[in-house]
Amino acid sequence: MRIRPTPSVIPFVTQRVGEDAAPDNLMILKNHGRLRLHYLDEEPQDRDPRGVLWARCSFNAYDENGMPTGKPLWKLMHPYRQMVTMQSMRCQVCTQPARTRLGFVFLAQAKDVDPEKTERLTNQPPVCARHIRTAAALCPHLEQPVALLTQSAPLYGALGTMYSMSGEGVKVVAQPDSPLPYGHPQMSTFLASQQVRRLKSIRVLAIDELLRLLRDDAA
Ligand SMILES: [Zn+2]
């Protein structure tokens, strides 16, 4: 096991101790013959900009820099913070716009990347040029990180849980491993927890190689 020094930077998207799944209050309503998943006490921020219902998780207080407080739960991304950074293509560490001089940078595990494939789905929000190395060092899923450089990363869909009606309430039907694409007929009874983008025409680079290219481009 690798022993890491206590990091001074905690990414914005990381869930913190005290931020817990909030009570569901889920219900399915029929509207114009169509079933739709709702919260009983739904608020506008419960849905993403495409109207998909999002899993609730409480929020700790934010500090004077707009960053959440509390000890990090390194393996978890807060569903709402993951969605807003992914949706707006902001850095998962600092929330600044993520576009670099060379395009958008996403991180992945080297062993998961097929160099023959030019497209890939990801739920990991992008990183800005300043935080490529930090994010690569911090992410618990990345033992051997590589950078995926792309000019185009359209929204694809979401990971989450499929529900159906059960008497007066709801029941879980499936928790698929693959994301459900936006526009899918079952999206209306889906509770999303991670937004997914499709990275196109990917260039796979070692972290050091990408940082060198960014430096050269700046020179
Ligand atoms: Zn950043």
C-alpha 168 to ligand 1 mean position (Å): 45
The rounded Å distance from CA 137 to ligand 1 centre is: 13
pLDDT digits (tens, 9 = 90+) for 137-156: 887 676 789 999 999 999 99
The mean per-residue pLDDT over the stretch 62-75 comes to: 93
Q: Is 117 exposed, middle or buried (0-12, 13-18, 19+ CB in 10 A)?
A: exposed
Task: Encode pLDDT of 177-210 as tens digits.
Answer: 999 999 999 999 999 999 999 999 999 999 999 9
What is the band of 159 on the pLDDT scale with cuts at 50, 70, 90? very high
For ligand 1, the distance from its centroid to the CA atom of residue 145, given in whole angstroms, is 17
Contacts of 103 (CB under 8 A, 6+ apart): 149, 150, 151
Structure tokens of 37?
């998943």
Cα(19) to centroid(ligand 1), Å: 22
Tokens of 121: 């789905």
**Average pLDDT in the 85-95 region?**
97
Query: Ligand 1 centroid vs 78 CA: distance in angstroms?
Result: 17
Counting residues of the chain whose pLDDT is more than 90, the rounded percentage is 79
How many A from CA of 89 to the centre of ligand 1? 11
pLDDT recorded at residue 1: 46
Residues paired with residue 170 on neighbouring β-strands, in sequence order: 165
Q: How many A from CA of 208 to the centre of ligand 1?
A: 17
How is the chain classified by DSSP, letter by letter? Answer: ---PPPPS---TTEEETT--BPP--EEEEEETTEEEEEETT--GGGB-TT--BB--B--PPB-TTS-B-S-EEEEEE-HHHHHHHHHHTB-TTT-SB--BTTBEEEEEEGGG--TT-S-EEE-S--B-GGGHHHHHHH-TT-SSEEEEEESB--EEEEEEEEEEEETTEEEEEE--SSPEETT-GGGGGEEEEEEEEEEBS-EEEEHHHHHHHHHHHH-
For ligand 1, the distance from its centroid to the CA atom of residue 53, given in whole angstroms, is 27
Q: How far is the CA of 90 from the centre of ligand 1 (A)?
A: 8
Question: What would the pLDDT profile of 103-122 be if each residue is shown by its tens digit?
Answer: 999 999 999 898 889 999 99
Collect residues with CB below 5 Å from ion ligand 1. 91, 93-94, 128, 131
Query: What predicted TM-score, i.e. pTM, was given to this entire model?
Result: 0.92
> Beta strand 190-199 with 120-122: parallel, antiparallel or unpaired?
antiparallel
Q: 4 pLDDT exceeds 60?
A: no
Give the separation between CA 165 and CA 176, rounded to whole angstroms: 18
pLDDT band at 95 (very low <50, low <70, confident <90, very high): very high
66 CA to centre of ligand 1 in angstroms: 14
CA of 20 to the centre of ligand 1 (A): 25
User: Measuring CA to CA, which residue among 133, 18, 13 is closest to residue 76?
Assistant: 13
Give the mean model confidence (pLDDT) for residues 59-70: 94
How far is the centre of ligand 1, averaged over its atoms, from the C-alpha of 186 (Å)?
35
